[in-house]
């Protein structure tokens, strides 16, 4: 499954700080359909994420009935990204 969408990078301050982009409702619904087959536990969905010219592997997190994409530090640094930046996210999920 390949998905492409735009979103805003936001910051969550937890035990360790994280940056995320929220998956829009239509794309989240598509992910939910394959989630039972691809999750490795706790609802986490392994995925490859591409922003700009940089591709990383990560896992989508379930949140409030949808999913969020962690924006790893390596991705932030390579693409010069920060909070409130609008990015085009390309997701690839092996289903």
Q: Kindly state the percentage of the chain with pLDDT values over 70.
A: 97
- Indicate whether 9 pLDDT > 70: yes
Report the C-alpha gap between 89 and 87 in whole angstroms: 6
- Find all residues with CB under 8 Å of 3, minimum gap 6, and list them: 23, 27, 30, 31, 89, 90, 91, 93
Q: From start to end of the chain, where are the E strands?
A: 2-13, 17-22, 45-51, 54-63, 66-70, 86-92
Confidence (pLDDT) at 81: 96
The model's pTM is 0.91
Give the lowest-confidence range in 2-6, 40-44, 87-91: 40-44
Cα end-to-end distance, the chain, whole Å: 6
């Amino acid at each position: 499954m390949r998905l492409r969408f735009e979103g805003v990078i936001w910051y969550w301050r937890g035990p360790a700080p994280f940056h995320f982009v929220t998956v829009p409702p239509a794309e989240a619904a598509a992910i939910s359909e394959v989630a039972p087959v691809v999750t490795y536990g706790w609802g986490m969905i392994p995925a490859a994420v591409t922003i700009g010219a940089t591709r990383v592997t990560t896992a989508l997190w379930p949140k409030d009935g949808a999913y969020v994409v962690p924006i790893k530090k390596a991705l932030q640094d390579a693409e010069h990204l920060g909070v409130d930046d609008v990015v085009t996210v390309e997701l690839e999920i092996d289903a």
